[in-house]
Structure 1
Amino acid sequence: MVQLSVKERILLAAERLFAERGLDGASLRQISAAAHNGNNTAVQYHFGSKERLIQAIFEYRLRDLNERRAALTAARRPKDLRTWVECHIVPVLEQGEREGSHYLSFVAKLQQHGRRDVLDRLAPELLAPTHLFRERAGALLPHLPEPLRGHRIAHAMAFSVYAGAEREQSRARDEEVLPYAVHVGDLLDGLVGFLQAPVSSATASALTGAGAREIALPVHP
């Protein structure tokens, strides 16, 4: 059995409590207790603040997640939209299958709280795969004008997190879920269909009438 460091125990406990109770529902003292640490100030000692702790959870998970994305991209050499979506999204969904992981539920809670500022403070290299995916996927959707193209890509990524979080929570409650391969395949079918759907005349008219322009959209690592 792998022995976790104190910092890792704190990160995993914080991820679980934030996923279950929300960002404001878990105190640093409760996180220390959940990490089986007798020192009530252990979180402050190792991370300084709740904001830094939240950032550290992303840093802890994203390094492995991005390595998996890189390995899939190298193996699949994506050229079509579905393969790009698969290489970017499957590593996210795999997180929900890991024993003891509450990462997807944690990210979903963060999105619900509108805490985009946490991601803005991450090292650029951790978000580089997401920006690359947006660029490559966007290039394969020339029929979508901006800001609709970026809007769809951002919401496809957000939906994948919510779908994975729902499955993660169902598995934790020992509820029946679809076999993983079926879950992934069906979700990819839906996401690609959503991304490739044509723009209706009603939406095009509304876009022209609103004078919409490209806007900054949330990052979904």
Structure 2
Amino acid sequence: MLDERSTRGEDTRDRIKQAARRLFADRGLDAVSIRDITREAGQKNAGSVNYYFRSKEALIAELITDIAAILEVGRNRRVDAMEAAGGPASMGEVLDILLDLSDRTSEGIPADGRRFIDRVMASHSELLFEAIHIDLDTATRRCVVHLRRMMPALPEIVTGQRIRLAMLQAFAFISSRPSAVANPALWPEGWGEELARRNLIDGIEGLLRAPMSEETRRHL
């Protein structure tokens, strides 16, 4: 009986997560209420979301963690292969892993999961930065270690800011891709194509490698 009850509870939990992910992907995080999620999941008890997840914020965090876990598997494989071959040979090689938008790193993520992450990147990137502090982000951390090693010698406060600026640029670009594909006339030519991704990699490398100006140094 306990096993049956536990199974039913897990099924309900999964239905709530699937419903929430779908709604967040379609409407955005702020436009979806707990009541919307409860209704979409087919739950009669208005307190179901809080019962299983404590809060809307905790539910969002778990959805991010689920997707991050899948992404990290693919990224870790690529980092393993790069290091086994004696790499990285360049900063661009590391950035290519972090900015891999292909199916090889997102296999197993449902379509609404990708759209959900795009929404998070576009409007709530701080939630992703929080997720980076969990154990699931080993590939991301490994990549950042390599990037730091290849950056010029800078004060730690400047290095940390540049890493964060690079990630914000990456989030903004990735979250813009669906719109660029759907409405190409509203974006610079080729924004939804591989050229733009490679251009971003070059731009981020320039940001990370640039010497610190005297003007910036005066503000330390």
Asked if TM exceeds 0.5, the reply is yes
Cα deviation digits, residues 78-126 of structure 1 (max 9, x gap) = 422111121223259966x973322122233223xx5589548x6x311
8 A Cα contact 1:134 1:150, kept in partner: no
Please report the RMSD computed on the Cα atoms of aligned residues, expressed in angstroms: 3.1
- Residue 135 of structure 1 and its aligned partner are, at CA, apart by 2.2
1:86 correspondence with 2:96: yes
Change (3 A) 1:70 1:155: same
- Residue 39 of structure 1 and its aligned partner are, at CA, apart by 3.1
Question: For structure 1, which runs of at least 5 residues remain unmatched after alignment?
Answer: 208-221
Change (3 A) 1:118 1:43: farther
- Residue 12 of structure 1 and its aligned partner are, at CA, apart by 4.4
Task: Output the amino acid matched with 1:99.
Answer: A
Query: Matched residues, percent identical?
Result: 26
Equivalent residue, structure 2, for 1:211: none
1:166 correspondence with 2:176: yes
Equivalent residue, structure 1, for 2:138: 128
1:146 correspondence with 2:156: yes
- SS of the residue corresponding to residue 85 of structure 1 reads helix
Question: For structure 2, which runs of at least 5 residues remain unmatched after alignment?
Answer: 1-10, 185-189
Equivalent residue, structure 2, for 1:204: 217
Cα deviation digits, residues 118-172 of structure 1 (max 9, x gap) = 548x6x311333333322211111333221111101110121111111113444x
Task: Choose from 15, 20, 23 the match for 1:14.
Answer: 20
Task: Output the amino acid matched with 1:61.
Answer: I
- Residue 8 of structure 1 and its aligned partner are, at CA, apart by 4.6
Change (3 A) 1:186 1:161: same
In the comparison of the two structures, how many residue pairs are matched?
195
1:70 correspondence with 2:82: no
8 A Cα contact 2:34 2:56, kept in partner: yes
Equivalent residue, structure 2, for 1:182: 195
Q: State how far apart, in whole Å, the 2-side matches of 1:33 and 1:68 are.
A: 34
Equivalent residue, structure 2, for 1:27: 33
1:137 correspondence with 2:147: yes
Structure having the higher helix fraction is 2
